[in-house]
Structure 1
Amino acid sequence: MSKVPENGEEMASEASGPVVGEAAQAEASPVRSRPSWKQVAVAAGGLAVTAVGAVVVTLVATHNSARMANAAAYAHGLLDGAKAARDGYDFGEDDDYFDEDDD
């Protein structure tokens, strides 16, 4: 019959004693204080791939939005030119913007 302590704690089994724990640690691989060069290389490569991917995605998104903005500006310019022509603007007269006397 097993003896149960009065304070409610379970009795430790003989297999989990300090001698068995030391033997298990001796059989395990040695503890390393720093990662191996392979782990560092894999982590650095993963970080580099992630950074390059983020840059590529950002450039693609920026390029697409810039193309859309340029197309919209071009269309608005065409509409403004058509409206000016309809309102009777003389495109052949001298324009202050291109005045050569400002030099």
Structure 2
Amino acid sequence: MSKVPENGEETASEASSPVPGEAAQANASPVRSRPSWKQIAVAAGGFAVTVVGTVVVTLVATHNSARRANAAAYAHGLLDGAEAARNEYDFDEDDD
């Protein structure tokens, strides 16, 4: 609490002291409303690197299993075609 003289007036040192928040605001730089182009470029570059990295990791992780699945599907297709040929399936019948 501040000391008030008996006549009700404040002393000169108390009256001239700034409010604590005003001094900090006066020395602070102005608030920027949007990021600079450098910040946008860095963020876009980081996003692009993240996307490319994710795609590469996903492809590497699924490459072997996808290759096995494709080979199995191809083999099953060949076996189905061979079985259909043994059963004398007319492959041109559907073209009418």
Q: Shorter-normalised TM-score: what interval?
A: 0.5 to 0.7
| In 1, Cα distance between equivalents of 2:28 and 2:92 | 89
In 1, Cα distance between the equivalents of 2:92 and 2:56? Answer: 47
Q: In the TM superposition, what are the counterparts of 1:1-40 in structure 2 within 5 Å?
A: 18=19, 20-40=20-40
Task: Look up the match of 2:57.
Answer: 57
> Map of 1:72-87 to 2, 5 A cutoff?
73=72
Q: Which amino acid aligns with 1:65?
A: S
Match of 2:69 in 1: 69
* Structure 1 residues without counterparts, runs of 5 or longer: 4-13, 82-93
| Dislocated runs of 4+, deviation >4 Å | 99-103
1:25-49 C-alpha deviation (Å, 9 max, x unpaired): 1211211111111111111111111
Deviations 1:50-85 (A, max 9, x none): 1111111122222121123356x39x87xxx9xxxx
Pairwise CA RMSD of aligned residues? 3.5
Structure 1 residues 33, 69: closer, same or farther in 2, change over 3 A?
same
Which string of whole-angstrom CA distances, capped at 9 and with x for unpartnered residues, describes residues 5-30 of structure 1? Answer: xxxxxxxxx7x952x42222121121
Which amino acid letter does the alignment assign opposite residue 35 of structure 2? Answer: P
What are structure 2's unaligned runs of at least 5 residues? 3-13, 80-84
Q: TM-score, normalised by structure 2?
A: 0.52
